[in-house]
Structure 1
Amino acid sequence: MFIETDLESVLAHLNKLTPETKPEWGQMSAQRMVEHLTDTLRIATGENPQVLLIPEEKVDRMVAFLYTDKPMAKNMEVPFAKAGTPLRHEELELAIDEFVEVYLEFQELFAENPELKTVHAFYGPLNYEQWDLLHKKHLTHHFTQFGIL
């Protein structure tokens, strides 16, 4: 079961975080995880464009994964979420505020451009529905990681 991606549901979970919340696996702090979720939204909006890092012939299989009930693997390393990335904000609450701002930009962009596709490095060009499926898996993955789901 994956989390719903409406802002109210997401915020209900994000607001359970404290600066002291520790992950059950991995090295991210709670704030770094929130900033990483925002970074993913910036990829989805095209603000942080990505190039495809997998062979094109694997894209269909990767996109098909989004439509399954399989969770994301733990301890994945991706080049756009490097360990040791410095924090952008002085506190967790500011990182959550930034997430909300970029989440709303994502929703507005795709509402105004329903045919838009933006590239994810491992899934290729995704439309809104596919980004939403990815966000459901991604949010569930990290909220489970931090014990807030």
Structure 2
Amino acid sequence: MFIETDLETVLSHLNKLTADKKPAWGKMSAQRMVEHLTDTLRIATGENPQQLLIPEDKVERMVAFLYTDKPMAQDMQVPFAKEDTPLRHEELELAIDEFVEVYLDFQELFAENPELKTIHAYYGPLNYEQWDLLHKKHLTHHFTQFGII
């Protein structure tokens, strides 16, 4: 039901994306969506540390959601993914290159630190397995949004 997160699979979908592709919902451009996926990887690596934005007693329920087959809701608004965030790159292909670089950093970091947990604002401290589950849902959510899955 959810996309696998190996780089070959993810790139097979990202390579279907065009700069002018319109989303089925939301206001992100295709390039902004790719940069947003990269931003999420930077949260996972701890490069962009987050504060927990939900009460601690809700974390267990949020993490449990990662283990379900329920998709992420459409049109979610989160403070760390503003739609008016300026683009970092001049073109989509450069945004995809950045995604690949940060994806590899993410994989390497957790391979070298298997006990590492980093904070997601709505899921709390996540280990590699939990980040992978989140990425599966998140990639599927945005790839569905742009019709590339």
What TM bracket, shorter-length normalisation? over 0.9
Equivalent residue, structure 2, for 1:144: 144
Count of paired positions: 149
**1:41-70 C-alpha deviation (Å, 9 max, x unpaired):** 000000000000000000000000000000
Offset at residue 83 of structure 1 (A)? 1.7
TM-score, length basis structure 2: 1.00
Equivalent residue, structure 1, for 2:126: 126
Give the Cα–Cα distance (whole angstroms) in 1 for the partners of residues 93 and 148 of structure 2.
16
Equivalent residue, structure 2, for 1:85: 85
Equivalent residue, structure 2, for 1:106: 106
**1:4-57 C-alpha deviation (Å, 9 max, x unpaired):** 000000000000001111100000000000000000000000000000000000
Equivalent residue, structure 1, for 2:4: 4
Percent of aligned positions that are identical:
87
TM-score, length basis structure 1: 1.00
Note the aligned Cα RMSD (angstroms): 0.3
Corresponding residue SS for 1:119 = strand
Give the Cα–Cα distance (whole angstroms) in 2 for the partners of residues 3 and 18 of structure 1.
19
Aligned pairs for 1:39-50 within 5 A: 39-50=39-50
Q: Displaced runs of 4+ in structure 1, greater than 2 A?
A: none
| Letter paired with 1:11 | L
Unmatched 5+ stretches in structure 1: none
Corresponding residue SS for 1:73 = coil
Give the Cα–Cα distance (whole angstroms) in 2 for the partners of residues 72 and 41 of structure 1.
17
Offset at residue 144 of structure 1 (A)? 0.1
Give the Cα–Cα distance (whole angstroms) in 1 for the partners of residues 21 and 147 of structure 2.
8
| Letter paired with 2:132 | D
Offset at residue 127 of structure 1 (A)? 0.1
